[in-house]
DNA sequence: CGAGTTCCATAGTGACCGCTCTGAAATAGA
DNA sequence: TCTATTTCAGAGCGGTCACTATGGAACTCG
């Protein structure tokens, strides 16, 4: 539940120090979950990638679920920073374009797995991990909420029509992001994804002005 | 490899007959994979849903991989029928609209799991199932190819502009389908998905004429 | 230097995984 | 009815799963 509270500063004063870089290990865990998914990544996969033994992993991160959620939070980045980026864009259309192009770029990185961790890692799973799936769903929902808020701001500013279906417009952007994740995993390259982004933005009301 | 050949008619003449409806059992297997994914569905999950014992499952379907691929083929339906439906539509835009609305409807059915089996069941997985993931990717790719062909037909007929990026337009439709699968799984209802479809189709060149 | 604390690696734990061995039961053809 | 063939259900195969008990090693503090 409130596992984010004691996480930041549980710093011990005495005792043997950590023999590995916790942050670097978390990064490797994130990349492993990104590539193989939550349930379909084994502890052995993780310990191998992170370069630590199983007991060290459990001491440092709790268990597989908490490690995954921490990795997912690291992947998602600071929600406030995303909200700020959306707000800083001149228009909601610019904000959406920035979201989509950065997604298309991130999904086709050379040094990372393809696609989106949040879209693929818990896309399916047993009922035993329903709570983890819900947590990731909530992160996605948070992005959608912030995007809708940014669009609504443009409606209220008179930039977008008053009768606009804000949820549908935001939903289109979210759907393209999740869809591009699948297609990037299928091997589609970055220019193709960016072309999809530009085509999709043609659906934006009066964005072309 | 060529497991589709001897499948249709391996009918034995003697011996104890099957005590269950193979087709109905396959249907239940499909629904189970649809809900829980490929690797994250256990044999016990399957035998429970199908109402058969493990040895019966293996005798009738081979192994987990072959059962899944057969279920996926059943889910995808006849590719020729889909190609025919695309061709029968008056325009490529109508064909795309039909694809998208039927996807939005199928992803929010009352009697089925939510989302798309082909989009979610192998969205992530260990490297041990890379061949299964590739098989599902190929099915998705087949849909994209047929959609591009239908769009190209409209370009050649002068309905769509000659300089149209066909791959990008088809990719947009495919991305929306995969994306709606995720959002349907997140709980989005049918009217919301259909609103996304209509908004997205605003990006279609001169579809509104 | 101890005492106390924390992390280390080895070597497991029971539970579940996909899958199959076994022998009885049910059919078709002789 | 007898034989051959196929499916049935129960029990269990080796392997992997997430996770941990244990005892020694490395640190801080007094």
Q: How far apart are CA A193 and CA B172, in angstroms?
A: 9
How many Cα atoms are found within 13 Å in the side-chain-facing hemisphere of A197?
24
Shortest distance between the Cα of B137 and any Cα of chain A, in A, equals 6
B contact residues 152-171, partner A, Cβ 8 Å cutoff: 165, 167-169, 171
Q: Which of B49, B92, B123, B191 to mutate to test the interface with A (most CBs of A within 10 A)?
A: B123
Measured between beta carbons, the chain B residues lying within 8 angstroms of A183 are 171, 174-175, 178
Name the strand (E) or helix (H) holding A110: none
Give yes or no for A94 touching B (CB within 8 A): no
Does B176 sit within 8 Å of A183, measured CB to CB?
Answer: no
- Helices B130-156 and B64-76 cross at an angle (nearest 10°) of 20
Alpha-carbon distance A185 to A182, whole Å? 5
pLDDT of residue A12: 63
**pLDDT tens for residues B169-198?**
999 999 999 999 999 999 999 999 999 999
Q: What nucleotides of chain C have any atom within 7 angstroms of a protein Cβ?
A: 4-12, 16-22, 25-29
**pLDDT over threshold 50, residue B208:** no
B25-70 confidence digits (pLDDT tens):
999 999 999 999 999 999 999 999 999 999 999 999 999 999 999 9
The rounded distance, in Å, linking the Cα atoms of B35 and B47 is 15
pLDDT tens digits along B64-91: 999 999 999 999 999 999 999 999 999 9
Cα A28 to Cα A15: distance, rounded to the nearest angstrom: 26
Our CA angle for B35, B54, A125, nearest 5°, is 20
Identify whether the C-beta of residue B113 lies closer than 8 Å to the C-beta of residue B31: yes
The answer to whether residue B2 scores a pLDDT higher than 70 is no
Residues in chain B with CB shorter than 8 Å from the CB of A193 are 171
- Of B123, B174, B175, which is closest to A123 when you measure between CB atoms? B123
Residue A3 predicted with pLDDT over 70: no
Q: Which of A129, A130, A123, A178 is nearest to B37 (CA)?
A: A123
- What CA–CA distance (Å, rounded) separates B203 from A138? 29
Q: Which of residues 50-89 of B touch A (CB under 8 A)?
A: none
Q: SS3 string of chain B?
A: CCCCCCCCCCCCCCCCCCCCCHHHHHHHHHHHHHHHCCCCCCHHHHHHHHCCCHHHHHHHHCCHHHHHHHHHHHHHCCHHHHHHHHHHCCCHHHHHHHHHHHHHHHCCCCCCCCCCHHHHCCCCCCHHHHHHHHHHHHHHHHHHHHHHHHHHHHHHCCCCCCCCCHHHHHHHHHHHHHHHHHHHHCCCCHHHHHHHHHHHHCCCCCCCC
- Residue A209, pLDDT > 70, answer no
Q: Mean of the per-residue pLDDT values for chain B?
A: 93
Instruction: Name which of A35, A165, A179 is nearest B199 (Cβ-Cβ).
Output: A165
Chain A residues closer than 8 Å to B199 by CB: 165, 168-169, 171-172, 203
By the CB < 8 Å criterion, does B174 face chain A? yes
pLDDT over 60 (residue A8): no
Could you give the CA distance from residue B97 to residue B103 in angstroms, rounded to a whole number?
Answer: 10
- Give strand D nucleotides closer than 7 A to any protein Cβ: 4-12, 16-22, 24-29
Give me the residue label for tokens 């279609």: B204
Q: CA(A127)–C1'(D8) in Å?
A: 31
Half-sphere exposure of A208 (CA within 13 A, CB side): 9
- Least CB–CB distance from B179: residue in A125, A177, A198: A177
In A, which residues are within 8 Å of B121 by CB distance?
124
Indicate yes or no: CB of B123 within 8 angstroms of CB of A195. no
Q: Between residues 27 and 46 of chain B, which touch chain A (CB distance below 8 Å)? A: 35-42, 45
CA distance A167 to chain B (A): 8
| B125 vs A40, A172, A196: nearest CB | A40
Q: Does A48 touch chain B (CB under 8 A)?
A: no
Assess whether pLDDT exceeds 90 at residue A15: no
Work out the minimum CA distance from B133 to partner chain A, whole angstroms.
Answer: 9
The pLDDT of residue B9 is above 80: no
pLDDT of A66 above 80: yes
Task: Write the residue in B39, B174, B199 that is nearest to A203 by C-beta.
Answer: B199
């Amino acid at each position: 539940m409130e596992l984010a509270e004691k996480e930041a500063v549980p710093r011990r004063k005495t005792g043997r120090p950590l023999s590995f870089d916790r942050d670097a290990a978390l990064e490797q865990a994130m990349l492993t979950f990104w590539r193989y998914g939550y349930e379909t990544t084994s502890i052995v996969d993780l310990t191998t990638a992170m370069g630590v033994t199983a007991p060290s992993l459990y001491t440092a991160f709790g268990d597989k679920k908490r490690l995954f959620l921490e990795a997912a939070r690291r992947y998602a980045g600071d929600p406030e920073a995303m909200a700020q980026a959306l707000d800083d864009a001149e228009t909601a259309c610019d904000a959406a374009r920035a979201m989509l192009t950065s997604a298309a770029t991130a999904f086709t990185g050379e040094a990372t797995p393809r696609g989106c961790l949040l879209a693929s890692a818990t896309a399916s799973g047993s009922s035993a991990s329903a709570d983890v799936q819900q947590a990731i769903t909530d992160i996605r929902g948070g992005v959608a909420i912030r995007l809708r808020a940014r669009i609504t701001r443009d409606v209220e500013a008179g930039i977008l029509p008053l009768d606009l279906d804000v949820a549908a417009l935001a939903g289109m952007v979210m759907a393209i992001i999740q869809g591009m994740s699948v297609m990037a995993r299928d091997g589609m390259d970055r220019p193709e994804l960016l072309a999809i982004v530009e085509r999709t933005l043609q659906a934006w009301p009066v964005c072309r002005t």
